[in-house]
A = this chain, B = another copy of it.
Amino acid sequence: MNRTVQREAILAELRASRKHPTAEEIYTVLRSRMPQLSLGTVYRNLEQMSQAGVIRKLETAGKCKRFDGDLSLHHHIRCVECGAVEDVEPAVFNEVDAALARLLPQLKCIDYNLELNGRCRRCRSKGDGGMQREN
């Protein structure tokens, strides 16, 4: 994998963002600076870098794939309404992670991926509360 300005820019942008951007989002941001950048290049590089383990591809629902430049163990919560993906405070999952850590070798697994579905603060506050159940 050679060093190219496009690849470096894509990686930098991904790391600078906290919002787990899609290829399209990265493309849009970079384009203002690199007008001749091609969307295909963004897709190609995100794929390559996630193959190489430099970044992480999130297995999130929704039409678009999302990427994460933070490789440390942490989990995500995805808003079922607006599709935004946020990190969850890792400490919350201490218990879960411990249990899973015990399971991994037994199941011959390398790693795992946990995604929670809910409604983000923004959508909850502005919304009608349609998802909450009372019964």
Identify the A interface with B (CB < 8 A). Answer: 3-5, 7-9, 12-13, 16-19, 29, 32-33, 50-51, 53, 57, 59-63, 77, 80-81, 83, 88, 92-93, 95-96, 99-100, 103-104, 106-119, 124, 127-128, 130-131, 133-135
Stoichiometry, as copies per complex, reads: 2
Query: Which one of B18, B96, B107 contacts A77 once the chains associate, using CB atoms below 8 Å?
Result: B107
Q: Are A107 and B113 in contact (CB under 8 A)?
A: no
Q: Are A63 and B111 in contact (CB under 8 A)?
A: no
A64 to B67, alpha carbons, bound, how many Å?
A: 28
Q: Which secondary structure dominates chain A's binding surface?
A: mixed
A127 CB contacts on chain B under 8 angstroms: 33
A121 CB → nearest B CB, Å: 8
A116 CB contacts on chain B under 8 angstroms: 104, 107, 109, 111-113
Q: Are B80 and A117 in contact (CB under 8 A)?
A: no
